[in-house]
Amino acid sequence: MAKRIIWSPNALADRIQILDYWSQRIGNKIYCRRLDYELKETIKHLAQFPQIGRQIVKREERFLVKDYYQIFYIATSTEIHILHIWDSRRDPSDLNLG
């Protein structure tokens, strides 16, 4: 059974920031639409298969890698909480999972 996807405010802000960056960098929204679609499709797979991501050692958070992006999430019995979408090319010391 598919689980309900819940986006945190941080994850939504991450998504918007990533798409805005590529929109300004390339000057073309086609790539942004495709990237957004691929990220959403990857997250839909999490709803079906929440254990496919790697668990962070000694934490309940998991992450799934999609190209250069790491999707951090917590899976409960009925929901998937998307915590962050992180571009792995950024400085890892800037990532705060809380």
Q: Where are the alpha helices (DSSP H) in the chain?
A: 9-26, 29-48
DSSP secondary-structure letter at 8?
-
Q: With respect to CATH, is domain 4-88 assigned 3.30.2310.20?
A: yes
Q: What is the pTM of this model?
A: 0.87
Contact 73, 60 (CB under 8 A): no
Structure token digits, residue 72: 């951090």
User: What confidence tens digit (pLDDT) does each residue in 18-72 have?
Assistant: 999 999 998 888 999 999 999 999 999 998 999 999 988 888 899 999 999 999 9
Q: How confident is the model at residue 78 (pLDDT cuts 50, 70, 90)?
A: very high
Contact call for residues 54 and 62 (beta carbons, < 8 A): yes
CB 81 within 8 A of CB 94: no
Instruction: Give the span between the Cα atoms of 2 and 78, in whole angstroms.
Output: 8
Instruction: Give the residue extent of every domain in the chain.
Output: 4-88
